[in-house]
Amino acid sequence: TLTDTAQFTDRHGAVHTLPAAEAEAQVRADDRAHVFHSWSAQGLIDPVPVAAGEGSTFWDYEGNAYLDFSSQLVNLNLGHQQPDLVAAIQQQAGRLATIQPSIANDVRGELARLIAEVAPDGMEKVFFTNGGADANEYAVRMARTVTGRRKVLSMYRSYHGSTATAISLTGDPRRWANDGVDNGTVRFFGPYMYRSAFHSSTLAEESQRALEHLEQTIQLEGPNTIAAIIIETVVGTNGVLIPPPGYLPGVRELCDRYGIVYIADEVMVGFGRLGEWFGVDAFDVTPDLITFAKGVNSGYVPLGGVVISDRIAAAFDTVPFAGGLTYSGHPLACAAGVATFEVFRRDGILERVRDLGSRIVEPTLRAWAETHPSVGEVRGQGLFWAVELVRSKETREPLVPFNAGGADAAPMGAFAAAAKKGGVWPFTHFNRTHVAPPLVITEDELVRGLAVIDEALTVADGYTV
Ligand code: PLP
């Protein structure tokens, strides 16, 4: 029930008060009447009004707290209202709020330098975009320009964004309604041990067979027609699929052999999610282009970009790069990015991600795979994990059908409702729930949140056969 004033206490012990009933009613009314939402049938949704956030927690207007295990689309790596990021944006706004991209600017240059310093050797330049989709869009444009070829190979079970080329690269059902927008995409199967397309029984076999399949795809498509291969270093929304040893280095070799540009999409895993600056650092591989967004500044001001190998950058030394965006390298976004580097280094964020991931998340999730009949497989690294839910461990039949909606998705809906009731905001997709909290989550919060998910999984267990 609504109260006249809801109160919530943030992690510093400060108490905030909100005029709950009236404020919430107004937020809901404006949203229903005027906001057109992403990926939704507008009449079938009922978005939760959020009143405030702090660290890993956000509050609704009734004062209910949710521990965020989704990081707001795996974006909010430093959590809500991180004081250094807020201050950096405020300071920059007071100094120079915006400037066009063709002018040299201090924070834009500083952030590009900081990114180049942590990128693999031989990647010195950064092209800034407004987010992840356009980063991929521009990476493909660069690859097409330097190779003079058009096709791009991308994986089934991938997400690369929702602008024209990015949605065409995407290999999950989100692309279906937009198929053919950019008809230069050819899809292939990546490694996925739990549901292997190659009937492999070991990771080594899965890696080798997936590479053979990719090479055959390249040969049958015509190597001279393929500009790029784009791969999420760890597949994100399609299941936190960790590439088996040797797979990404094998992709690198194929790209070298056939003169193809290797684009690593690190929009979700870049900037700390795996306990590394860039995901490729964990897999011993250097791509030609790395796309990033989200974690670069926790989305406080929209920002994305492409880190460019020296070889590709050099191809544009005398040939103009035909592309640009008004807000490319926006000073407010870059100021938040520079502050992100400071916080990561000062607070040892990469180290704590590795520690919390291996010491707390991994053993807890592995135990769930033993204790819950609905948990088919758990997999992940750092603070990026998936729990794949099944109706039967034996048959591995997913807990809900592929791409289920409405009543078919009820078991996942019931699981998510139980998690929310326990105070955790989960990230669910098809038959999976992901564990991807802000990287600043405290150990207590993490343990408490995992206990809530553990309890909610008993609801999923009820749907097993
Ligand atoms: N690439 C990956 C791997 C993503 O996860 C996403 C978004 O979730 C995107 C690209 C698109 O990013 P944006 O929503 O910023 O356009």
Chain segment 399-436, per-residue pLDDT in tens: 999 999 889 999 999 999 999 999 999 999 999 999 99
Task: Give the pLDDT confidence score for residue 1 in this predicted structure.
Answer: 35
* CA pair distance 455, 394, nearest whole angstrom: 23
* CA pair distance 399, 411, nearest whole angstrom: 7
Ligand 1 centroid distance, CA of 282 (Å)? 20
Ligand 1 centroid distance, CA of 293 (Å)? 8
Please work out whether the CB of residue 80 comes within 6 Å of at least one atom of ligand 1: no
- Mention every residue, 6+ apart, whose C-beta is less than 8 A from residue 98: 327, 330, 331, 332
Ligand 1 centroid distance, CA of 170 (Å)? 10
Ligand 1 centroid distance, CA of 21 (Å)? 35
ipTM (interface pTM): 0.99
For residue 304, list its beta bridge partners.
Answer: 129
Ligand 1 centroid distance, CA of 236 (Å)? 9
* CA pair distance 72, 88, nearest whole angstrom: 21
Which ligand 1 atom lies nearest to the CA of residue 161?
11
- Residue 123: closest CA among 306, 310, 251, 261: 310
**Cα-only R_g, the chain:** 22
Which ligand 1 atom lies nearest to the CA of residue 304?
15
Ligand 1 centroid distance, CA of 136 (Å)? 9
Q: What is the pLDDT of residues 313-326, one digit of tens each?
A: 999 999 999 999 99
Ligand 1 centroid distance, CA of 295 (Å)? 11
Pocket test for ligand 1, best of 152, 268, 280, 427 (most atoms within 8 A of CB): 268
Task: Give the pLDDT confidence score for residue 280 in this predicted structure.
Answer: 98
Q: Is 325 exposed, middle or buried (0-12, 13-18, 19+ CB in 10 A)?
A: middle
Task: Give the pLDDT confidence score for residue 301 in this predicted structure.
Answer: 98
Please work out whether the CB of residue 302 comes within 6 Å of at least one atom of ligand 1: no
Please work out whether the CB of residue 236 comes within 6 Å of at least one atom of ligand 1: yes
- Residue 411: closest CA among 386, 390, 425: 390
Ligand 1 centroid distance, CA of 368 (Å)? 29
CA atoms in the 13 A half-sphere facing the CB of 64: 16
Residue 328: DSSP 8-state: T
Task: Give the pLDDT confidence score for residue 6 in this predicted structure.
Answer: 67
Please work out whether the CB of residue 99 comes within 6 Å of at least one atom of ligand 1: no
Please work out whether the CB of residue 239 comes within 6 Å of at least one atom of ligand 1: no
In this structure, the residue with its CA closest to atom 13 of ligand 1 is 132
CB 227, CB 136: distance < 8 Å:
no
CB 247, CB 52: distance < 8 Å:
no
- Mention every residue, 6+ apart, whose C-beta is less than 8 A from residue 21: 2, 3, 4, 61
Pairing, β 57-60 against β 261-265: unpaired
CB 414, CB 431: distance < 8 Å:
no
* CA pair distance 426, 25, nearest whole angstrom: 25
Please work out whether the CB of residue 267 comes within 6 Å of at least one atom of ligand 1: yes
In this structure, the residue with its CA closest to atom 1 of ligand 1 is 160
Which ligand 1 atom lies nearest to the CA of residue 294?
15
Please work out whether the CB of residue 128 comes within 6 Å of at least one atom of ligand 1: no
- Residue 440: closest CA among 4, 54, 21: 54
Please work out whether the CB of residue 131 comes within 6 Å of at least one atom of ligand 1: yes
- Residue 391: closest CA among 408, 412, 374, 416: 374
List the chain residues with pLDDT less than 70.
1-6, 10-11, 18-21
Ligand 1 centroid distance, CA of 94 (Å)? 30
Task: Give the pLDDT confidence score for residue 24 in this predicted structure.
Answer: 85
Put residue 405 in one of left, alpha, beta given phi > 0 → left and psi -120 to 50 → alpha: beta
| pTM score | 0.96
Scan for tokens 């003169």, then name that residue.
259
Please work out whether the CB of residue 232 comes within 6 Å of at least one atom of ligand 1: yes
| Percent of the chain residues topping a pLDDT of 70 | 97
Which ligand 1 atom lies nearest to the CA of residue 302?
15
- The distance of Cα 376 from the centroid of its chain, to the nearest Å, equals 23
The Cα-based distances of 41 to 36, 48, 405 in angstroms read: 10, 16, 12
Please work out whether the CB of residue 266 comes within 6 Å of at least one atom of ligand 1: no
Please work out whether the CB of residue 230 comes within 6 Å of at least one atom of ligand 1: no
| Two structure tokens written together for 286 | 């250097």
Ligand 1 centroid distance, CA of 245 (Å)? 25
Ligand 1 centroid distance, CA of 169 (Å)? 12
Which ligand 1 atom lies nearest to the CA of residue 75?
8
Q: What is the pLDDT of residues 366-411, one digit of tens each?
A: 999 999 999 999 999 999 999 999 999 999 999 999 999 889 999 9
Ligand 1 centroid distance, CA of 291 (Å)? 10
**Strand order, beta sheet including 50-54:** 50-54, 57-60, 65-68, 424-425
Q: What is the pLDDT of residues 58-89, one digit of tens each?
A: 998 888 899 999 999 999 999 999 999 999 99
Task: Give the pLDDT confidence score for residue 19 in this predicted structure.
Answer: 63
* CA pair distance 14, 9, nearest whole angstrom: 5
CB 376, CB 368: distance < 8 Å:
no
What kind and span of H or E run contains 94? helix 83-95
* CA pair distance 465, 261, nearest whole angstrom: 46
